[in-house]
Amino acid sequence: MKTRIGILGYGNLGKGTEIAVAAADDMELAAVFTRRDPSAVTLLTEGVPVVNVSEIEQWTDKIDVLVLCGGSATDLPVQTPKYAGLFHVIDSFDTHARIPEHFANVDAAAKAGGKVAMISVGWDPGLFSLNRVYANAILPEGKDYTFWGKGVSQGHSDAVRRIEGVKNAKQYTIPVETALEAVRSGSNPELTTRDKHLRECFVVLEEGADAAKVEKEIKEMPNYFADYETIVHFISEEELLRDHAGMAHGGFVFRTGATGVNKEHKHVIEYSLKLDSNPEFTTSVIIAYARAIKRLADEGQTGAKTVLDIPPAYLCRQSAEELRAHFL
Amino acid sequence: MKTRIGILGYGNLGKGTEIAVAAADDMELAAVFTRRDPSAVTLLTEGVPVVNVSEIEQWTDKIDVLVLCGGSATDLPVQTPKYAGLFHVIDSFDTHARIPEHFANVDAAAKAGGKVAMISVGWDPGLFSLNRVYANAILPEGKDYTFWGKGVSQGHSDAVRRIEGVKNAKQYTIPVETALEAVRSGSNPELTTRDKHLRECFVVLEEGADAAKVEKEIKEMPNYFADYETIVHFISEEELLRDHAGMAHGGFVFRTGATGVNKEHKHVIEYSLKLDSNPEFTTSVIIAYARAIKRLADEGQTGAKTVLDIPPAYLCRQSAEELRAHFL
């Protein structure tokens, strides 16, 4: 019997989840829930009902795991605790500073409802978190480095768009190659976020706007750009839509540390992702963990979980015997 | 109360374990067991007893986790099942093809004794296995690549040493840079082990030996060298001891895969290690998992385990709350 997946919210993450479910032969999409008029939503998959979220409580016995595809700013802090009382749920909550609070809220709701609820699943938080934790446990004396990109930062793109005279914009966060090399060398450099990244902006001006003034305003914007090496390109709206519509992203996690009687042996652990589609990769991680949730639920576990709580074998379709024989 | 570690076998892995225990403030070394005369063994740590292995049964209530530091060829297939009946144990059994058989033997012994026994802990098998499993679960459609090196291959070094006229030798396995780049590009190349690696030999000749004949014999040796690009250097014994005594190693694990309605989005997951000391890094992994074994044992679990069965949080000294707040 396949694991029945429900999706709440049909934006980029919802579509990515739909695609990831289709690629998993042990899963099937049971329904998509939306706040919109269901007749206005067309899925990629044929024959799957689109249901208004007001009717979701009628689906509690037809869904094994509900994937919450809302945003971290306002949707998930409300939705995850709410639906964790009714379904086994999973979200990609990614506001790092608010994870402890979100975990506590979701944990209470899931325990009250006798459900399993995973939060903050994706690649950061998610796979990058796993790598930080494994590497720290193995090299207790060392330094951690996380680099993001090359990829679009939504927050920085929005900040550029708010400048007077800017019609549209995309901002890429790009790791600085010399900083990556310094980390790889094992020299344990001290690096701030701004030492590690440069910012490249592609900007479409409103007619008659002053390019020099816009460029100055971007480069001097506090917090967002002032402390960074920032490159600004002015392009046409046509070019922006043609060349910068993609959702590629990625990044690097390092831990460098030393062992030995006199700490004379250096070690470098490096993990990196190069992703053509941030939402599709994120939801591929989510669907692997949805499989784990089903197993935890079948074992009778309840409460909030993160990627740090899940044995790796639980993500896999294969049996423990197959994994030991072929992957260990 | 600190976790009390015992070490069986005081070679490179035993010494590495001793160093890793010293770096873990929640652990202490209780005893080192040896097949040798204990008076002939001097530890790095003062005040720790060295005990002949014939007396090990007197230590069952003084050791929380026994680290088995023997070799995979002949020691561990006997030792791990034997001691899994008496202690919670961990080993670094690395003969991939025999893991299922070793697991079954150790599992039966550990269950009979009510103990937890982890096998095949280190970096390959170990961390590389984890990365293969996570990446396969996330990208079900894709290809796996493992590269080893740069590092010394003991088996290949031994093969060179057996050639007539060779006094001493070291063989390095080195990843081929163009093969790494082809994988990183996401082009999913078909690569054999020999496409991925070249072999570099540093050879000390016996007096009067024929260098050309030795080089030919190395390069034409079936299985070991004949199918590989092989580089042979002749050096003095002094140079070999001075420049090639290190135990550096490392390697790369990749999975490249695609998502999307038409599999139009490529993704590259890359994990790599650059290690100055193979045994010290291996034992750093072992000590992190020894911490997990203690927790499993405290929960009342029994039987054989691998890295695929252990939640990442179990490797850490920090509480679940600390991990969520700082690493997720």
CB contact under 8 A, B324 and A277: no
Local confidence band at B293 (pLDDT 50, 70, 90 cut-offs): very high
Across residues B198-208, what is the average pLDDT?
97
pLDDT-derived band at B193 (thresholds 50, 70, 90) equals confident
B214: helix, strand or coil: helix
Give the pairing type, strands B249-259 and B50-52.
Answer: unpaired
Residue A236's pLDDT is 97
Measure A216 CA to nearest chain B CA, in Å: 36
Nearest CA in chain B to A271: B271
Say if residue B142's pLDDT is above 90. Answer: yes
**Between chains, do A313 and B312 touch, taking CB under 8 Å as contact?**
no
| Distance from the B148 Cα atom to the nearest Cα atom in chain A, whole angstroms | 14
| Residue B37 CA from chain centroid, whole number | 27
As beta bridge partners, residue B232 has B201
pLDDT digits (tens, 9 = 90+) for A99-116: 999 999 999 999 999 999
B285 at A interface, C-beta within 8 A: yes
Dist CA B273 CA A260 (whole Å): 17
Q: What is the pLDDT of residue A154?
A: 85
Nearest C-alpha of chain A: how many angstroms from B14? 13
How confident is residue A223, by pLDDT bands cut at 50, 70 and 90? confident
Inform me whether the C-beta atom of residue A265 falls under 8 Å from chain B C-beta atoms. Answer: yes
Q: Determine what percent of chain A falls in helix, strand and coil, rounding each to the nearest 5.
A: 40, 25, 35
Closest chain B residue to the Cα of A265, Cα to Cα: B276
Contacts of B88 (CB under 8 A, 6+ apart): B64, B65, B66, B115, B116, B117, B293, B294, B297
Within 120-149 of A, beta carbons closer than 8 Å to B belong to: 120, 125, 127, 129-130, 132-134, 136-141
The reply to whether A321 touches chain B by the CB within 8 Å rule is yes
Cβ atoms of residues A145 and A185 within 8 Å? no
User: Most B CBs within 10 Å: which of A138, A296, A310, as the mutation test of the B interface?
Assistant: A138
How many helical (H) and strand (E) elements, i.e. helices and strands, does chain B have? Answer: 11, 14
- Region A271-289: mean pLDDT is 97
Closest CA to A156 of A178, A145, A176, A172: A172
* The pLDDT value given to residue B226: 92
Residues 6+ apart with CB under 8 A from A172: A149, A150, A151, A152, A153, A199, A200, A201, A202
Instruction: Say whether A129 and B184 touch across the interface (CB within 8 A).
Output: no
- Contacts of residue B284 in chain A, CB cutoff 8 Å? 138-139, 259, 267
> What are the CB-based long-range contacts (under 8 Å, 24+) for A54-59?
A56/A6, A56/A8, A56/A83, A56/A86, A57/A86, A59/A6, A59/A30, A59/A31, A59/A33
- Nearest by CB to residue B100, choosing from A269, A311, A325, is A325
**Pick from A268, A271, A311: which is nearest to B310 by CB?**
A311
Q: What integer pLDDT is reported at residue A184 of this predicted model?
A: 95
Q: Do A324 and B100 touch (CB under 8 A)?
A: yes
- Residue A221 has a pLDDT of 94
How far apart CA A194 and CA A196 sit, in angstroms, is 5
Single-letter code of the amino acid located at A236? S
The rounded distance, in Å, linking the Cα atoms of B13 and B154 is 15
SS3 of chain B: helix, strand, coil, percent, to 5: 40, 25, 35
How many residues are recorded in chain A? 328
Which among B260, B273, B308 is the nearest to A323, CB-wise? B308
Could you tell me which chain A residue has the CA closest to the CA of B134?
Answer: A312
Average pLDDT over residues B143-172: 94
**Angstrom distance (rounded) from CA B130 to CA B273:** 13
Say if A285 is an interface residue toward chain B (CB within 8 Å): yes
Distance of CA B243 to the CA centre of its chain: 23
- pLDDT category at B231 given cuts 50, 70, 90 is very high
Question: Could you say which residues from 161 to 180 on chain A have a Cβ atom under 8 Å away from some Cβ of chain B?
Answer: none
Q: Is B307 on the interface with A (CB under 8 A)?
A: yes
Q: Name the pLDDT band for A74 (thresholds 50, 70, 90).
A: very high
Sheet holding B265-275, edge to edge: A142-148, A249-259, A265-275, B265-275, B249-259, B142-148
Choose, out of B102, B127, B327, the residue to mutate when testing the contact with A (most A CBs < 10 Å).
B327
Helix (H, G, I), strand (E, B) or coil at B118: strand
Looking only at the bridges linking them, the beta strands covering A265-275 and B265-275 are antiparallel
Query: What is the pLDDT averaged over residues B59-79?
Result: 96
The answer to whether A279 and A15 are in contact (CB under 8 A) is yes
Whether B277 sits inside 8 A of A268 (CB atoms) is no
Give me the residues of B, 49-108, that contact A with CB < 8 A.
96, 99-100, 103
Q: Can you give the three-state secondary structure of A55-123, one letter per residue?
A: HHHHHCCCCCEEEECCCCCCHHHHHHHHHHCCCCEECCCCCHHHHHHHHHHHHHHHHHHCCEEECCCCE
B281: nearest CB among A24, A130, A267: A267
- Rounded to the nearest integer, the mean pLDDT of chain B is 96
**Cα separation, A251 vs A153, whole angstroms:** 12
Interface touch B136/A184, C-beta < 8 Å: no
**Residue A312 to residue B284, Cβ atoms within 8 A:** no
Confidence of residue A98 (pLDDT cuts 50, 70, 90): very high
Phi first, then psi: what are they for A228, rounded to 5°?
-110, 155
β partners of residue A166: A205
pLDDT of residue A174: 97
* Mean per-residue pLDDT, B13-21: 98
What span, in angstroms and rounded, lies between the C-alpha atoms of B142 and B30? 46
What is the token pair recorded at B199?
């072999």
What would the two tokens of residue B309 be?
């069965």
Minimal Cβ distance to B24: which of A140, A320, A325: A140
Distances (CA, A) of A88 to A83, A102, A290, B43: 8, 16, 9, 52
> Cα separation of A111 and B309, whole Å?
24
B241 vs A107, A264, B167, B215, B245, CA distance in Å? 59, 18, 12, 20, 5
Q: Which residue of B has its CA nearest to A267?
A: B275
Cross-chain CB nearest to A312 (options B134, B268, B272): B134
Element holding A295 (H helix, E strand): helix A278-298
Q: Would an 8 Å CB–CB cutoff place B42 in contact with chain A?
A: no
In the DSSP assignment, the letter for residue A272 is E
Contact B312, A292 (CB under 8 A): no
Please answer whether residues A206 and A165 qualify as being in contact, where contact means their C-beta atoms are separated by less than 8 angstroms: yes
Of A44, A272, A313, the CB nearest to B308: A313
The alpha carbon of residue B271 is apart from the nearest alpha carbon of chain A, in Å, by: 4
Quote the pLDDT of residue B276: 96
Mean pLDDT of A115-135: 98
For helices A127-138 and B127-138, the axis angle rounded to 10 degrees is 170
List, as one string, the DSSP characters of A171-194.
EEEEE-HHHHHHHHTT------HH
- What whole-number distance in Å separates Cα of residue B210 and Cα of residue B206? 9
Cα–Cα distance measured from residue A289 to residue A316, given in angstroms and rounded to the nearest whole number: 9
pLDDT in tens, B214-225: 999 999 999 899
Whether residue B294 is predicted with pLDDT greater than 90 in this model: the reply is: yes
pLDDT at residue B75 is higher than 90: yes
Asked whether residue B155 carries a pLDDT value surpassing 90, the answer given is no
- Indicate whether B194 pLDDT > 90: no
Percent over 70 (pLDDT), chain B: 100
- B181 neighbourhood in chain A, CB within 8 Å: none
Instruction: Write out chain B residues lying below 8 Å of A310, CB-based.
Output: 311-312
Q: Determine contact, residues B291/A306, Cβ cutoff 8 Å.
A: no
Residue A42 makes CB contacts below 8 A (sequence gap 6+) with none
Which of B24, B267, B315 is the closest to A274 by Cβ? B267
pLDDT at B320 over 90: yes
Look-up of token digits 């003084």: B62
Reported as a pLDDT band with limits 50, 70 and 90, residue B117 is very high
Please tell me the predicted confidence (pLDDT) of residue B45.
94
Asked if residue A118 has pLDDT above 90, the reply is: yes
Which chain B residue is nearest to residue A316, measuring alpha carbons? B137
A298: burial class by Cβ within 10 Å (0-12, 13-18, 19+)? exposed
